[in-house]
Amino acid sequence: MIQAFIFDLDGVLVDTAKYHFRAWHRLAKSIDIHFTEEENEQLKGVSRKESLEKIMQWGGVSLPEKEKEKLMALKNAWYLEFVNEMDASETLPGVRLFLEECRAMQLKIALGSASKNAVQILQRTELSSFFDVVIDGTKTSKSKPHPQVFLMGAEALDVQPAKSVVFEDSIAGIEAAQRGGFKSVGIGKAQNLGKADLILESLQRKKASEIINHLNF
């Protein structure tokens, strides 16, 4: 029997992946590094610090810790300029209805996000009340593809990974779900999410009950 759904935030529930990209792109440009939207797929699901380190690696740049801290603060300030303008209209298509259906089915629901801005984003988009548990980047020490964030979510909900489904838009997140023993639904393009148990363009595409059937619970 299915027990729980665990959702990533950025790129699954809310349209913030584009804001992360814009802020990182601007930051990278400021230190003369240029990266493509395709390379950006590797930044999805990854913590702020590891994202910066990847970008520096692409540009063949190495910087002292203090400088990295400054760059991360700058990127986050630019990112928050977008976040502070967000409202409920920036939930991705089908999300609110989907979460309402999950609630009606009495599924347990957790958030499993790398972001340290997750609580603020849930509030701005009026999604907070759907979640029994929120595990975010302020609570974890290991970045996806490590399964820590989802395992902590399952533990807090008191459910088994094998009886839970993770919804993710990132390559790192799908790998984290699989390493943790969860079933996984990839949200986005098949070319990026090939390893997921099911791939959907958006949460508008299927009902929760159809997903549960498809995954053979």
Active-site positions read: 8, 10
- C-beta of 207: minimal distance to ligand BG6 in Å? 25
| Single-letter amino acid, residue 183 | K
Give the separation between CA 202 and CA 169, rounded to whole angstroms.
Answer: 10
- Single out the residue of 10, 168, 175, 197 in contact with ligand BG6 (rule: CB under 6 A): 10
CA distance 147 to 128: 23
The three-point CA angle 9-94-170 to 5° equals 35
Shortest Cβ distance from residue 193 to Mg ion (Å)? 11
Enumerate binding residues for Mg ion (CB under 5 A). Answer: 8, 10-11, 169-170
Q: Candidates 37-45, 147-155, 175-183, 202-210 — which segment interacts with ligand BG6 by CB under 6 A?
A: 37-45
Length of the chain: 217
> What is residue 146's DSSP assignment?
S
> What DSSP state is assigned to residue 92?
P
Supply the minimum distance, in Å, between the C-beta of residue 19 and ligand BG6: 9
User: Which has the closest alpha carbon to 140: 78, 59, 48?
Assistant: 48
Q: Decide: is 137 part of the binding site for ligand BG6 (CB under 6 A).
A: yes
In the complex, the smallest distance separating the C-beta of residue 60 from Mg ion, rounded to whole angstroms, is 27
Please identify, using beta-carbon distances, which residue of 2 and 131 lies nearer to ligand BG6. 131
* Residue numbers 42-81 binding ligand BG6 by CB under 6 A: 43-48, 51, 76
For residue 183, report the phi and psi dihedrals to the nearest 5 degrees.
Answer: -80, 155
Per CB under 6 A, 199 contacts ligand BG6: no
Task: Evaluate whether 136 touches 115 at the Cβ level (below 8 Å).
Answer: yes
Binding site for ligand BG6 (CB under 6 A): 9-10, 20, 43-48, 51, 76, 113-117, 137, 170
